[in-house]
Structure formats: C-alpha cells, structure tokens
Structure 1
Amino acid sequence: MTEVDRFADIRPYQDDEVPAAIERLIQDDEFIGAIAKYRFGALMKWFGWALRPLIRYFLRSKWRHVTTVHQVQMGVTRYMNRMIGSSTKGVTFSGIEHLKQGQGYLFVSNHRDIAMDPAFVNWGLHTHGFETVRIAIGDNLLRKPCATELMKLNKSFIVKRSAKGPREMMKVLGELSAYIGQSVHEGHSIWIAQREGRAKNGDDKTDPAILKMFYVDGKKQKIPFVDYMRSLNIVPVSISYELDPTDKAKARELYEKSVNGSYEKGEFEDIESIVAGIVGQKGRVHVAFGAPITEGFEDPDQLAALIDKAIWGNYRLFPGNYLAADVPNKANTLEQAAFLTRQSEVPEEHKAIWRAMYAKPVENASKVQ
C-alpha cells in the first residue's frame, strides 16, 4: 500500500515531478504569450503565430536536461547574479554565524517585496553554503496555472488564503502548520513573512496570528507552546532596501485607502509589482539573520514582540531613511540631492505617506535602542 502524500496540494514539486511541470509550462499559452510579449513587444501583433512555436522549441531545447529541483534553482541562481548586477549597488549579509549546517530553520522575515524578499534570503544562504528555503506564498498570487508551476518548481508551498468558513479554515491551518513543522524538524528551512501582505507603510510588525498558526500542530500533539516554538528554530530576518522600486505605487495605494477608505487592485497589479520589484533599482540591499529565538516568551504576543525587536534592531538604515525621518548629519550632499530628486517624482498629495514609509524603520529602531 502506497503512503498517502499528505501535503500533495500545497507542497513544492519533487524531482520526479519536474519534467512534467516544465512540459505543462511549455504548453501553456499564457506563459508563452507573456514571454513573447516581454521579448518581442509590438512584433507579437503581426508575428505571434510564428513566434509562439519558436519560443516553445527554444524552451524545450533549453530545458530538456532539467530534471531536478536543484537544476531549476541553479538556473534561478544565474538569473539572480545578473539581476543583482543590474538592479542593486550590492547585496550584503550579516548574522550567518547564527546558523548551523544541516539544521532546519523557520525564517520569519519582514516583507517589502513579493519576489525579492525570499530570493535575497536564498541568495545569502546559497552563497554561504546552506540549503535554500521552502517559500510560503499566498494562493492570491497563483491565479494563473503557469504561476503555480513556476513557484512550485522553485520550492514554494501554498498558503490557502482563500479558504472560507471555520471548518475549512481549521483544516487549512492544521495542514499548513503540520507541513511547516515537519519540514523544519526534517532539516528543511522555511521562509515566511511576519504578516500577511507587504508592510507598505514601512512598519515591520509581526502578526501573532501567524505564530498561532505555527502552533496548531504542536497544540494537536499536546506540546506546550514554548517547547514547540523552540523546536521550530525561529530566526527573525531583516531585509533592508535602500530604494523600494514600488514605493510610489505603495504610497498611491495608502493614499487612496486614507481618502476613500478602500483601494481596488487592478487585475495585473500583483504581477506588475513583482516585475517592478525584480527589475527596478534597489540601491544597496542588506539581509540580517538574527539569532534563533529560544527563550523570553510564553505566548504568541510575547514571541511577536521579540521577533519585532530583532527585526527592528537588525534593520540596516540608509541615508534616505534618516532624511525621511529628519535626522540630521546622517547623509552627505550627494545623498541629500538624490533623495530630494526621488521625492520630487512623487505626487504632492502622496509625499507625506511616501516619506513616512522610509522614516518608519528609523522610528522602530529607536524603540529597540
């Protein structure tokens, strides 16, 4: 009797599933159309009928020897190398010394960019000889089948945010909690954001509900909260971008919410944010791994406060953060000019929100000190 694959509908693909997933991508008209539009633009209107089969032929030839998840990620690594060179002024890391080889960790990270946050964490781990993480991704970003294929090929697992009703919610939370716990206890690290959605206002705060979700499986096993959470090796991660390529879009959304009480996302807005975050200029980027949290808490609220304290304290503040917060003597003349130039591109009514977004980490860091 074969063992039931308990997490089949949420887990990443395994090696034996890679070739079929790649073939489904090659057959996906939307995926091929997106590549064609990105590479050939206006030519698609006239020559789409000829370009699509050529792209399929090219991809099938290029990927014919890709049969494992590791090979998929090595392809991502090559792209990351180019992306870092073209869209950043360098990526630095600290706190790697807190990590041990072969150990599974639950990396609880601040969340500013949909794709790049886990990508930079993975880059830091990979370049320092560690295994890459399994990445939590909300099903709201996986409306297209090709998006699901791409994410699950790159070690992403699905968080079913769309679950409705108490019974379905409990089932989903139990499954997710068990998957995260089993992964970590078997030596596979997890990346998950400290809250649902990005901190668009720059305020990196951990939602205790996320921590309660982690504990659902521990509670089921009747393991005390402190003991179970300690077993997950929770590592707070601070990701700091000197520039946020999506800052103007975030300021616009926050302004609309403050004025109208709500904001209606466009159909492709999440995808546009992902693309902007990948290709847009980020300046310097720093990823800080905190020490695993093993003591000093008794409940989710206390644990959330410890994670916040670590993320705020390890956040790398850049001149723009200090300028936005009106802290003197933290930026030279060139940095001030660059900040003012960037600010001048922001619509007048959005400026206060935009500045507050960059200033908030300074305020949070001061709470730690």
Structure 2
Amino acid sequence: MFKVLLQFTFPDASKKEIQEVLLQCHSIHDFQTKVIYKSVQNLLAKSSEGFSTAGFDKLTPNKPYFYISNHRDIVLDTSLINVGLIDNGLITTASAIGDNLVQKDFLMALSRLNRNFLVLRNQSPRELLKSSKLLSDYMKFLLSEGRSVWMAQREGRTKDGNDLTQQGVLKMITMARGKTPLLQYIKELDIVPIAISYEYDPTDILKVPEIVAKQENVPYIKTNNEDFNSILKGALGFKKRIHIEAAPLDPSIYDQIDKEEQSDNEKLKRLASEIDKSIHSHYKLWPTNYIAYDLYHNTTQYASHYDEKELRHFERRLERRVNKENQLEIDSFLLMYANPVINTSKL
C-alpha cells in the first residue's frame, strides 16, 4: 500500500529517485512537505477542478492554534487544511482521528507519519472519562510545545450536511484546564474555526443509509471495510471545486460569554453556537447547494446561483444515486447539500 502511495505521488520517478526523496525525510515535517503535500496536490489534480483557501493570511506564522472545523471526509479534511497551512507558512497540525479508522497497519503507519493521535471509541463510561482526560492533557501539551492541533466539531463526520458543534467536544477539550477559569483557558487555546466546503461529496451516497436508519429510528450497523471504502472513495472520487476558509473568533467573544452566561455548560453551549456561526458564515456555497435547496423545497428561490447545465448534472447524479421510489432517500440526499444554505440563511 505504501509503494502504491509513492507511485501515485511520483508517477514519473524511478524507484531510485523515490528512494532519494525518502532519504531526505528526517522528520515528520520533511515527510509531510516532500511526500504527502505532493500526494494531495496530485489527488486534487485528478479528482477536483480547483482548490482555494482564505483567511489563513490573518493568522500569525510560528504560532500554534487550535483548529476546529466541520468534518465531511475522513482523511482529506485534515490533509487539505495542512496544505493550506503549509502554503501560508503556518504550523501544521497534530490531528485527532478515531481508532476505528486505523485498523489496517498501513493506515496506522500513515496516520503516525502525519501526526495523528487516536481518539478511542466504544469504551465504558469509566474508560471514556479516563481517555478523554488523557486526550485533553495531550492537546494542551502539544500547544505548549508549539504544535497546532486539529479536531472536528463533532464526533465523526457530519453525514447530513448540518454542521453543528457538539458541546461535549468542547467540554472534553477543557478537561485539562485544572483551576484555570473556563473561558480564560479556552481563550488561551486560540481556537480558529475552519469551514470546509466540497462542491460534490464523493461519499454522499455512502452516507444516505445511515441517515435514513437514524430517521427511521433503527440501528445502523457498518459493513466490513465501510470506513476504508469511504476513505478511498473520498480521496479518489470527483469533488469538483473545494474551498477551505479559516475564520478566527473575535477575542472579545470570550469575555462577553463569561459575563452573560451562568453555568459552565451554558458557556460551552454559547461558545459552540459562536463556532457554528463562524463556520456557517464562511462556508462556501456552491451551485449544488442552491440546486438541492430548490429541489427539496420545490422552488426557484436560488435559480440565479446556478445554470441549466449545473441543474441537469445534479439531477442526473440524484437519479443515479438514490432509489426514486424512496422519498426518504431522496430527501436525505438533497438535505445533505441543502443544509448549508439553510444554516447560512439563519444567520
């Protein structure tokens, strides 16, 4: 698998030339900039029609940040964020990843070579508390050592396109604060929300069964290799355009929340809302989002944001990917793309 990755990254290089590149890698930073960066660029060339970033120029080089983003793709989200960070001369991240996603030795090795740290799943309440505290302490340590950190705004990917920050994620992050007041500790983390937007989600149809099961209130059981297949599909599938935008919070927000709210839970709830506002307001809305909104609501409200060709292309995708006899599947697919428009309209 690793040889396949290297051949993909350096398609025109000989075995000796590839070895020479690897021999120049003396650190994770070397490996990320000399190999993974090029892997992602090749991936974007083959599976997208353009990658753009914004907001990173507002950040300070050589300063660690705590990035919190919406989460759509298992591997690509953090890979693209790090490309944006490298392009802007910023510190790359150590990134949280669920242990269920690195069951294969190749993925475990690759995750370590990209500074991933594990979030343990399927634990008892006592084990969960212990591992959460360790995780919080480790992220605090990373930041103190000058390393940026990334974590998704919620546990697992957003399947339905409705990007909302889980209060429990913020609570876990603050477990290492000791006697430091809650908002003071969070303020010192330098949280930077990031909005990640794909014009087409190559894993959209893979997410529909889980959404439908949730709506029908029935258990959803993953198939063997489902996560691995999602990783491959997300990486290699066509995404059209991609945009990532960093949206730093106004520092005064922390003082404002501290004055207004009473309990720590209320403060975290309010902070989660501010992170959501930041992500929603900086989320790049594509024609696919507007088309899905209009189709779902049977309207032409956003017709000025797309043309006939884009509409027909999306309709064909919908017809090919869902059962036209199952309205729940159709609605779930459309809302996956429409929810970002709905969230933006609420601002």
TM-score by length of 2: 0.85
- CA distance in structure 1 between the aligned counterparts of 2:346 and 2:112, rounded to whole angstroms: 39
Q: Is 1:214 equivalent to 2:173 in the alignment?
A: yes
Equivalent residue number for residue 126 of structure 1? 86
Equivalent residue number for residue 245 of structure 1? 202
Q: Is 1:284 equivalent to 2:244 in the alignment?
A: no
- CA distance in structure 2 between the aligned counterparts of 1:312 and 1:192, rounded to whole angstroms: 17
Q: Is 1:317 equivalent to 2:296 in the alignment?
A: no
Q: Matches of residues 147-162 of structure 1 in structure 2 within 5 Å?
A: 147-162=107-122
Equivalent residue number for residue 336 of structure 1? 311
Equivalent residue number for residue 226 of structure 1? 183
Residue identity (%): 34
Q: Is 1:300 equivalent to 2:263 in the alignment?
A: no
For 2:317, the aligned partner's letter is: R
Instruction: Give the secondary structure class of the aligned counterpart of 1:288.
Output: strand
Equivalent residue number for residue 20 of structure 1? none
Q: Summarize deviations over 1:279-312 as a string: whole Å, max 9, x none.
A: 1111110001001353232311011000001011
Equivalent residue number for residue 45 of structure 2? 85
- Please state how far the C-alpha of 1:336 moved relative to its aligned partner: 1.2
- CA distance in structure 2 between the aligned counterparts of 1:200 and 1:217, rounded to whole angstroms: 30
Equivalent residue number for residue 344 of structure 2? 365
- Please state how far the C-alpha of 1:76 moved relative to its aligned partner: 0.5
- Please state how far the C-alpha of 1:95 moved relative to its aligned partner: 1.0
Contact 1:230 1:293 in 2 (8 A): no
- CA distance in structure 2 between the aligned counterparts of 1:129 and 1:290, rounded to whole angstroms: 17
The 1:130/1:286 distance shift into structure 2, 3 A limit, reads same
Q: Is 1:203 equivalent to 2:178 in the alignment?
A: no
The number of equivalent residue pairs is 317
Q: Summarize deviations over 1:318-339 as a string: whole Å, max 9, x none.
A: 1110111113322112211211
Q: Summarize deviations over 1:52-91 as a string: whole Å, max 9, x none.
A: xxxx999878745543212221201111111111111111
The 1:142/1:58 distance shift into structure 2, 3 A limit, reads farther
- CA distance in structure 2 between the aligned counterparts of 1:202 and 1:285, rounded to whole angstroms: 15
For 1:96, the aligned partner's letter is: F
- CA distance in structure 1 between the aligned counterparts of 2:167 and 2:79, rounded to whole angstroms: 24
- CA distance in structure 1 between the aligned counterparts of 2:100 and 2:250, rounded to whole angstroms: 30
The 1:65/1:99 distance shift into structure 2, 3 A limit, reads closer
Contact 1:320 1:339 in 2 (8 A): yes
- Please state how far the C-alpha of 1:154 moved relative to its aligned partner: 1.0
Contact 2:119 2:135 in 1 (8 A): yes
Contact 1:200 1:357 in 2 (8 A): yes
Instruction: Give the secondary structure class of the aligned counterpart of 2:245.
Output: strand
- Please state how far the C-alpha of 1:35 moved relative to its aligned partner: 5.0
For 1:367, the aligned partner's letter is: K
Long gaps (5+) in structure 2: 9-14, 259-266, 295-301
- Please state how far the C-alpha of 1:275 moved relative to its aligned partner: 0.5
- CA distance in structure 2 between the aligned counterparts of 1:282 and 1:177, rounded to whole angstroms: 34
Q: Quote the RMSD (CA, aligned, Å).
A: 2.3
TM-score by length of 1: 0.81
Contact 1:139 1:160 in 2 (8 A): yes
Contact 2:249 2:278 in 1 (8 A): no
Contact 1:185 1:232 in 2 (8 A): no
